[in-house]
Amino acid sequence: MSKRIALAATLLWAGAASAADLTMALSSSPTSLDPQFHNLGANANVAANMFETLIALDADMRVGPGLAVSWKHIDDLTWEFKLRPSAKFADGTPFTADDVIWSLNRPATEVNSPAGYTLFTRAITGKTAVDAHTVRLSTATPYPLMLTDLSAVFMVSKKATEGVATEEFSSGKGVIGTGPYKFVSYARDEKVQLVRNDGFDGKKAPWDHVTIRFIPNNAARLASLLAGDVAGIEGVPTPDLDQVKANKSLVFAQKISSRLIYLFVDSGRDDTPFVTAKDGSKLAKNPLTDVRVRRALSMAINRDAISSKVMSGLGYPANNLVPETLFGNDPTLKLPVNDLVAAKKLLTEAGYPDGFAMTIHAPNNRFVNDDKIAQAVGQMFSRIGIAAKVDAMPMASYAGRGAKSEFSIGLIGFGSQTGETSSTLRAIIMCSKPETGGGLFNWSHFCDPKVDALTNQALGTVDDKARLGLLRQAAHLAIDEGAIIPLHFQATTWAARKGITIVPRTDERTFAGTFEPGG
């Protein structure tokens, strides 16, 4: 198989696609093959090959039909969806309204999820199967984000997943979707193998077999592409951008993404594990709870320098929750001035004239130059008297530890999954309340009832103009209070062997459909 894949990766395609195999390399391995367990980009990249959602987002994050071919309002609180009647799961079982109801109920039953999908299902208070291919969903209040929320929840088979524990998915049990590919095998942290689903009722998948390899090391991933071992990769190393663009045997694509790279800052706990006095002794109180300290940290960061020197222009300096292309961006939120004198003054006012010590945690294989960004931030903090060291680790470890609140300050990224600010506000800013689905990724432990009230009001406002104003108010307040420290929106990059067309996406998703034969 390996020789056949390597040969197929270098074929030139013309006209109609010929059947072939695809081997692609991703930067992060999934933490689970259960598509509803952990809302993580690395997991979604794998799941998207086999599973579908009711509502699909195109490459620019615009909504369109998925497993639901049409929808309408019955009244202000009720939506009706018509399902694709020819859709079947990979085992031949028809996809029905009962599967929709099961899929929307199941996230709330997932045990020990680091970050679940209830964020997207909490608003749905009623689910009714009108017939096999019609389902009605109701909410307690008018809910304008129903469609975009449903674009995030993968539909699973009730027959295949009922009674199946998350850990059993690693063996393939329950990994049965309606998508263009079927599960073959999984080697943890190494690869996933798929085969075309000939029973798929949509556009025929172009690849006979797909192998998804996980190569966290940037240089090794690019080397695999250059050697012809893989046909396409995500995350081109920034030092090699010019080389890749000039290589006539390769094709390259990039796109600004919705993903905000930011620092979470433990502002909600009086005691935090990785902040101490410079001699290592315990401080009387967590300094990160003081907004003046958080503002000082933000002012110490030279975002333009990170963008030009660390990101090679692939980072767009930010002090917003979504880029200007998405709904809710607040143009009045200007970049903080990089002012070390003013930052030191704020630290002194907060009672830390000599600074303190901290450990900045970060992943080293999930975002563009993630560990290098953290190192740069640590050096910038040192200029205002903060003795910072960096501890970087693979995302698979980092995500689990962060969800357990083991860190004090760290680098992470979040991409709006709804295409507007509400997604970011709900996930990483709102008070952490599992019972409501708010703050599922709020590693800062930030909690401001005013921000929550504005966000909740926006979530119940159908009028776009009014909702935009509420979202901007909430975002402005959150940023001003230092709920997080935004750094930049990253550009996502891809490269592939000549003869393959790359379909870049704002949501950064990389799956078999990212690499199409032809071009």
The C-alpha angle with vertex 403 and arms to 472 and 315, in degrees rounded to 5, equals: 50
pLDDT in tens, 44-53: 999 999 999 9
The CATH architecture of the domain made up of 51-158 is Alpha-Beta Complex (3.90)
Tell me how crowded residue 180 is: count the other CB atoms within 10 A of its CB: 26
**CA 332 and chain centroid, separation:** 26
Condensed to tens digits (0 to 9), the pLDDT of residues 217-276 reads 999 999 999 999 999 999 999 889 999 999 999 999 999 899 999 999 999 999 999 999
CB 430 within 8 A of CB 438: yes
pLDDT at position 7: 32
Residues 6+ apart with CB under 8 A from 207: 19, 20, 21, 22, 181, 196, 512, 517
Res. 8 pLDDT band, cuts 50 70 90: very low
Sign of CA dihedral 284, 289, 292, 293: positive
Q: What digits encode the pLDDT tens for the residues 468-488?
A: 999 999 999 999 999 999 999
pLDDT higher than threshold 70 for residue 370 = yes
Give 72-130 pLDDT, tens digit per residue: 999 999 999 999 999 999 999 999 999 999 999 999 999 888 888 998 999 999 999 99
Listed by start position, the domains of the chain span 51-158, 257-491
For residue 413, CA distances in Å to 104, 420, 441, 499 come to 26, 16, 10, 32
Buried b (16+ CB within 10 A) or exposed e, 397-428: ebbeebbebebbbbbbbbbbbbbbbbbbbbbb
3-class SS of residue 26: strand
Identify the pLDDT of residue 17. 33
pLDDT interval class at 440 (50, 70, 90): confident
Report the predicted TM-score, pTM, of the whole model to 2 decimal places: 0.75
Judge if 51-158 and 257-491 fold alike in CATH terms: no
Percentage of residues of the chain with pLDDT beyond 90: 84
The token duo for 300 is 């110490």
335: DSSP letter: P
User: Which CATH number applies to 257-491?
Assistant: 3.10.105.10
